[in-house]
Amino acid sequence: MLRKTGPRVPDPTPHQLRSLVLDYLVHHSYTNTARALVRDTTVRHFNADGEETSLVAGQPNATRLDDSALLSAERRLEIRHALLAGNINRARELISKYFPTVLNADDTTPKGSACNISESEYFAPKSVEPSHLDLNLHIQAFIEACRTRPLPYPLRTPSSTTAATPTVSRRESAEIQKTIPDPHDLDQQTALLKKAQKLYMLANLLIDENKARYLKELSLVLGILAYKVPEDSSLAKYLSQERREAVADQIEAAIFYRTGERLISNIELQTRYTSTLWSVAREFPSTPLSGAVLPPRNGPITPKSGSKEPLPLFDLKHFLGAT
């Protein structure tokens, strides 16, 4: 008896593909690019009275972008720029202003769990717990205060924000670097020691399983004080741009969590789902149904004698190159 095949899933419509792109752009704070895409793909129509109406690819009301999503994206980007420029105090002000629950959540707010990381990693656990985030910002502020040479931040070309949205400008970033105090100054050394004492106090206030990990990390971070030029020491990784990026990523993830937004874009979610689906399907070799769409393969697959042909492994890079 022949096995019936269901109807082939239709190809995505231009509107669906466009929505995926817009979702990606807004999720990653490319808001001006998203606005330009909507503007440039708008088809102008006129009604019987000669009044202009806007339609996109036959989809009514498809030209609108969610204003609240755009505003949230621009605020996240502003916070991220401050963190990547090393302006921790400015970042704190923006977080408290735009997303106050990130650093001061109610007890009833669900708390995220920390991810397991290897002992070789020096970045703090990716937790959304306010006490963890607060301590991470204090640690990063201490690191910024220990710098002996500027760490310039190459800002993203301002194509992703609106003119009305303030960001960390190049001039402001340069001013931040000029304010780096002399780490060998006695007053500065005293201030750093006080900051170190405060870090230990905050870490000891933690009541969860991450307390020991934070104390261990602090013992390493505070070792920066032992070097005249920590940027040339074995602890230079703590003063790298990657460290700033890790803190910025953690804060952004916490913002997504507290505001109920997705952590990843729809297109990344679909890519992960597709990759996982095909990987699982490979464990059950079978003959593909008529009309089934298979991922592109690098070369012919010759099944073993008497066995069925395995499904090709989904390779995103190869897939994109074949389209």
The whole-model pTM stands at 0.75
Domain shared by 92 and 168, yes or no: yes
d(CA 230, CA 111): 35
Domain shared by 173 and 251, yes or no: yes
List CB contacts of 85: < 8 A, sequence separation 6 or more.
Answer: 153, 155, 168, 172, 173, 176
What residues form DSSP beta bridges with 52?
Answer: 46
For the chain, how many structural domains are there in total? 3
Domain shared by 87 and 234, yes or no: yes
Q: At CA 260, angle to CA 270 and CA 35, rounded to 5?
A: 65
Point out the domain boundary residue: 212, 235, 259.
259
d(CA 91, CA 117): 26
Does residue 153 form part of some domain? yes
Q: Is the dihedral of CA 288, 293, 297, 300 positive or negative?
A: positive
Does residue 278 form part of some domain? yes
Domain shared by 182 and 202, yes or no: yes
Domain shared by 121 and 221, yes or no: yes
Does residue 168 form part of some domain? yes
Point out the domain boundary residue: 232, 259, 286.
259
For every one of its 323 residues, what pLDDT tens digit does the chain have, with 9 covering 90 and above? 444 455 555 677 888 888 999 999 999 999 999 999 988 887 666 666 666 665 544 454 455 788 999 999 999 999 999 999 999 999 999 999 999 999 996 644 544 444 444 443 434 447 899 999 999 999 999 999 999 999 988 755 444 444 344 445 555 555 555 555 565 677 888 899 999 999 999 999 998 788 999 999 999 999 999 999 999 999 999 999 999 999 999 999 999 999 999 999 999 998 888 888 888 877 777 776 776 677 776 665 555 555 566 677 777 777 777 66
Domain shared by 36 and 81, yes or no: no
Measured CA to CA in angstroms, residue 151 lies from 57, 77, 224, 234, 241 at distances of: 47, 20, 16, 17, 8
Domain shared by 52 and 110, yes or no: no
Point out the domain boundary residue: 48, 65, 82.
65
What residues form DSSP beta bridges with 45?
Answer: 53
List CB contacts of 208: < 8 A, sequence separation 6 or more.
Answer: 129
Domain shared by 99 and 248, yes or no: yes
Measured CA to CA in angstroms, residue 248 lies from 26, 52, 199, 242, 308 at distances of: 17, 44, 19, 10, 48
Domain shared by 183 and 91, yes or no: yes
272 is written with which tokens? 């992960």
Does residue 2 form part of some domain? no
d(CA 170, CA 35): 24
Does residue 213 form part of some domain? yes
Domain shared by 214 and 184, yes or no: yes
Give the structural domain span for 36.
14-65
d(CA 182, CA 189): 9
Does residue 254 form part of some domain? yes
Does residue 9 form part of some domain? no
Domain shared by 311 and 255, yes or no: no
pLDDT at 81 (0 to 100): 96
Domain shared by 212 and 276, yes or no: no
